[in-house]
Chains A and B, each alone.
Chain A
Amino acid sequence: MILHVDISRKRYRPDGPAILQDLRFSLDAGEIVALVGPSGCGKTTLLRLIAGLDRDYEGELAWAGAPRLGIAFQEPLLLPWRTVRENLALVERPDTPPGLSDELLAALGLAAEGNTFAARLSLGMARRVALARAFAVEPTLLLLDEPFVSLDEATASRGRELLLEVWARRPTSILLVTHDLAEATMLADRVLFLSGTPARIEREAVLPWEDRRQGTERAAALAASRRRTGFQTADTRDRG
């Protein structure tokens, strides 16, 4: 286990409504967990807490060792005035192996863009650079917030495949926030369903081993069948 999340309550104002309540789950090393839920239910709030960007909450985040985070959010948040390679160099640590950025850029199909200013990239490319940057810190946990939203389907699914390729090469835990069940099914080992106000984990589904990461079509079919049955199968535990 690398992280245990135990958030009893998160509010934005002391007298305001709770956004998150009684939220508990753990992440194991090398595991991909998807958080699925309707937009506005508090998924991004949760990611910001875990990323350490918001420390105003009741509860505890228990890390095994010092956390090393890579993040790729909806907005790629690259430095537009720096080149692709300089954007990766920004987050490098003293112990980063020298060839890592080039290896990641090549793996994500960006080998030719190393010297391009980030301001000149298309959204799809900028997202891939953001992924490369997130892997460049050799994170213990990668936080992804809708990393492929508002891309055309072909670009998005190519992005997912590349993500899995890089992850297979440089395994790390990933917490992925998405509203797209098919995306969650394609990428994750486990899916946590977040809903309600305040948001809590309604259900947790472990994807069958033989169905994991078997490509877009199989994932879409699985997601469709799960949507019909409401995930009420043997691998589903009600969390109430």
Chain B
Amino acid sequence: MSLTGRDILVRLLSILALLAVWEVSARIAASPLLPSATAVLALLGQEIAGGRLPHEVGVTLLRVAASFVLAMVSGTALGLAMGRWRMVDQFFDSWLTALLNLPALVLIVLLYVWFGLNDASAIAAVALNKLPATAVTVREGARALDRNLLEMAEAFQVPHGRRLAHVVLPQLYPYLFAAARSGLALIWKIVLVVELLGRSNGVGFEIQLYFQQFDVAHILAYSLAFMIVVQLIEWLVLNPLERRAVRWRP
């Protein structure tokens, strides 16, 4: 997919329109509870220059990265096993259903209660929230694997590591990218909740502080910063990786 000048113009206009609606409603409301777009952007610049916001965003990003990797790796392994072996599927299916239906908040609170208010509990809670969805997506992919290619690898006695890297994973890429996209969107939101409930730094913790002071401008500045970072990850990491993964298509 390549963007033409017109595509970029339309997107730019849409963002500008959103900012304009925000600016105008803020001026009409004229309340500290709805600061204007220009005020929030100015505050954002100030906080970045002060160094505190980049630090807090960095702390949160580290938690996002750790739980993301944990959820993707274990979810992919579980999904692959469930897609390949019926017994494993039958065994873990009810576990997945239980996890999928368990509210994120309950999982977070339980892990904090059982294992203490520390980063390990926080990251495990977020990863466990994302794991079942990843496993379910990858299981679909594993069920759709090309049997003939697997048999070819079997007949040639290709070592298992090489089979995974060259035969299996490339077929799972579309599923892995789908899981990664929805995972990133879900995980950073849950990380904020985890930070709000039991950590003393990070964007979630800051938002709780500013909530107690009813400081909406800071809350919006922090959320805006994080939205931009997540969007940049999508553009600069996920999209190029995906283009690379499909470049073989004629």
Contact = CB atoms under 8 A, between A and B. Distances in A.
Interface in A120-171: 120, 133, 137, 143
Interface stretch (B49-57, B146-154, B205-213): B146-154
Interface of B: 148-149, 151-158, 162, 166-167, 170, 245, 247-250
Contacts of A52: 154-155
Interface stretch (A73-81, A195-203, A218-226): A73-81
Contacts of B166: 79, 82, 86, 90
B249 A119 contact: yes
Contacts of B250: 117, 119-120
B205 to A, nearest CB: 44
A90 B155 contact: no
Name the prevailing secondary structure of the A interface residues.
loop
A154 to B, nearest CB: 24
A70 B155 CA distance: 8
Contacts of A177: none
Given A71-B155, A81-B248, 5 more contacts: A51-B155, A82-B166, A82-B248, A90-B153, A118-B248
A45 to B, nearest CB: 14
A91 interface: yes
Name the prevailing secondary structure of the B interface residues.
helix
B151 to A, nearest CB: 5
Contacts of A234: none
Nearest to A116: B248
Interface of A: 51-53, 68-71, 73, 75, 77, 79-82, 86, 90-91, 117-120, 133, 137, 143
Nearest to A72: B152
Nearest to A70: B156
B155 A79 contact: no
A69 B156 contact: yes
A137 to B, nearest CB: 6
A77 B248 contact: no
Contacts of B152: 71, 73, 77
B167 A91 contact: no
Contact of B148 (A75, A118, A119): A75
11 contacts: A51-B155, A52-B154, A68-B157, A70-B156, A73-B152, A77-B149, A82-B170, A117-B247, A119-B249, A119-B250, A120-B250
B248 A91 contact: no
B245 to A, nearest CB: 8
Given A79-B167, A81-B248, A82-B166, A91 B151 contact: no
A124 B69 CA distance: 43
B248 A71 contact: no
B173 to A, nearest CB: 8
Given A119-B248, A137-B156, A53 B151 contact: yes
B154 A53 contact: yes
A53 B170 CA distance: 23
A110 to B, nearest CB: 17
Which of B152, B154, B158, B245 neighbours the largest number of chain A CB atoms within 10 Å of its CB? Answer: B152
A65 to B, nearest CB: 14
Given A77-B149, A80-B248, A91 B156 contact: yes
B158 to A, nearest CB: 6
